[in-house]
Chain A
Amino acid sequence: MVGPERSSLPAPAPLLSIRNLCKRFGDRMVLKDVSFEIGAGEAVVLIGPSGSGKTTVLRCLNQLETPTSGTITLAGDVIGGSLAPDGTRWKPFGEADIAGQRRRFGFVFQRFNLFPHLSALQNVALGPRLTLGLPKATAEARAAAHLERVRLADHRDKRPGQLSGGQQQRVAIARALAMEPELILFDEPTSALDPELVHEVLDVMRALARDGMTMIVVTHEMSFARQVAHRVVFMADGAIVEQGAPDALFTAPQHETTRRFLAHVRNR
């Protein structure tokens, strides 16, 4: 089942566990009891039609949205708050604790969201300098190493506006990596790119997966999913419809919704 590009199978204890995650916007339930687990080193690709809630799942993980209900734990730590000692009251975390948890997740945005006033190097060094408290030189050395890793060492002094979309997205990946997160969330990292720039970003992500980085990737790049994912999760209408190894899910989907979605994606 495991293709040549995939690293060894995940460890049994899950790194991330999502249980009965629900999210409501106004009177619309956008996520309905989403539950799944991810082991350390696992690469999971999340697919599904537009509006099915993929982005919302990632945003809940990184606390850019507050879940309506459900529990998320990262390496045993509950995300977003804690139960009071008597075990009955939920106490949401303050800003500092939330920030401390957020940086355990890397987040790569569809539209890069690089800081336009800073050079590539400063973009990557900002987090280590300001939130990990590293001295400037140390932070920049670390940033340089991560830019090297995404093969942008030569562009460290350029501003985002001077870089191509593919280069910008790789800087954004380096920015996430520099925080040494426990896992990285990718939200359609290549869908804002010109087609000829897609592969350079996917190559970087493929290398990360091979190095054992835990990741959740929302993407419509099915060949990437086939090659890299340990598991593909298919969502529709705010719920997980089915999940499994890519070969199994792509060749023999169990549900009609999945079949229709896959046919639709293939025909594009």
Chain B
Amino acid sequence: MSIDWAVVAMAIPLLAQGALTSLRIAALAGLLGLAGGVALGLIALGGFTPARLAVRAYVDFIRGTPLLIQIFIVFFGLPMLGWRPGEYLSGVIALSLNSAGYIAEIVRGAVGSIERGQTEAAQSIGLTRGKILLHVLLPQAIRPMTPALTNDLITLVKNTSLLSVISVYELTRSGQAIIASHFAPLEIFALLALYYYLIISVLAYISRLIERKLPAW
């Protein structure tokens, strides 16, 4: 068995393009997922029962079904609602919806584990539920949430590869294209693995830095 170094040399810059796309998708979906997840998490902790149950059901659905299926549902479902955002946006939306579900649980868990005395002290100065969440509980939950959020981000980066099934030209898909034209599957898949591994190592390193920088009180 011999390694086709010419293909490797040719693939490296091409795959870098795909990696950039993957990173862009992950960044977008990460931000949207975080915003959505925090919002859903706060609703899940809020006082309005129907909304709380709706979030519960949503989270159950997200966690109880494969992401691949969710991607297809978004990709084929949105056009039926009369909107054709294209594969790229569909992919971003699917990943955002997925990670929002997981982040909602992270937020709910972290906020819920803050000592009861904090809520009672806030109540005693007349704060209402929403303000207690926003000004007292959520800020204290940020640090304990960070490791779980980091994990979620890492998962998100890996999950971008699933968007290859709806032809989003991200890292995995661009690798598959090279394989199709040059038939060097092992070389390319090894390169893909290396790319993902490097990206995730860098992310993990950054998030450890952030975690250390966050104040511990």
Q: Do A and B bind each other?
A: yes
**Chain A interface (Cβ within 8 Å of chain B)?**
62, 64, 95-96, 99-100, 102-103, 105-107, 109, 111, 113-117, 126-127, 130-132, 159-161, 172, 175-176, 179
Question: How far does the Cβ of B168 sit from chain A's closest Cβ, in whole Å?
Answer: 40
**With A95-B47, A159-B217 in contact, is A131–B118 under 8 Å at CB?**
no
Which residues of the partner chain A approach B125 to less than 8 Å between Cβ atoms? 102-103, 126-127, 131, 175-176, 179
Question: How far does the Cβ of A161 sit from chain B's closest Cβ, in whole Å?
Answer: 5
Q: Which residue of B lies closest to A104 (CB)?
A: B126
Assuming A99-B127, A115-B136, A176-B125, what are 11 further A-B pairs, CB within 8 angstroms?
Answer: A64-B120, A64-B123, A64-B124, A99-B126, A126-B127, A126-B136, A127-B125, A127-B127, A130-B131, A131-B127, A161-B217
Which residues of the partner chain B approach A99 to less than 8 Å between Cβ atoms? 123, 126-128
B13 interface residue per 8 A CB criterion: no
Question: How far does the Cβ of B19 sit from chain A's closest Cβ, in whole Å?
Answer: 37
Which residues of the partner chain B approach A107 to less than 8 Å between Cβ atoms? 120-121, 124
**CA of A176 to CA of B120, assembled, Å:** 13
Question: How far does the Cβ of A136 sit from chain B's closest Cβ, in whole Å?
Answer: 13
From B117, B126, B131, B215, contact of A102 by CB (8 A): B126
Which residues of the partner chain B approach A105 to less than 8 Å between Cβ atoms? 124
Could you give, for residues 126-167 of chain B, a 1 whenever the CB lies within 8 Å of some chain A CB and a 0 otherwise? 111101000110011000000000000000000000000000
Could you give, for residues 12-55 of chain B, a 1 whenever the CB lies within 8 Å of some chain A CB and a 0 otherwise? 00000000000000000000000000000000000100000000
From 63 to 97 in chain B, residues with beta carbon under 8 angstroms from any chain A beta carbon are none
Q: Which residue of B lies closest to A105 (CB)?
A: B124
Q: Which residue of B lies closest to A122 (CB)?
A: B135
Which residues of the partner chain B approach A117 to less than 8 Å between Cβ atoms? 139-140, 215, 217
**CA of A120 to CA of B123, assembled, Å:** 18
Q: Judging by beta carbons under 8 Å apart, are A100 and B47 in contact?
A: no
**CA of A102 to CA of B129, assembled, Å:** 13
Which residues of the partner chain A approach B117 to less than 8 Å between Cβ atoms? 109, 111, 113
Question: How far does the Cβ of A108 sit from chain B's closest Cβ, in whole Å?
Answer: 9
Question: How far does the Cβ of B113 sit from chain A's closest Cβ, in whole Å?
Answer: 14
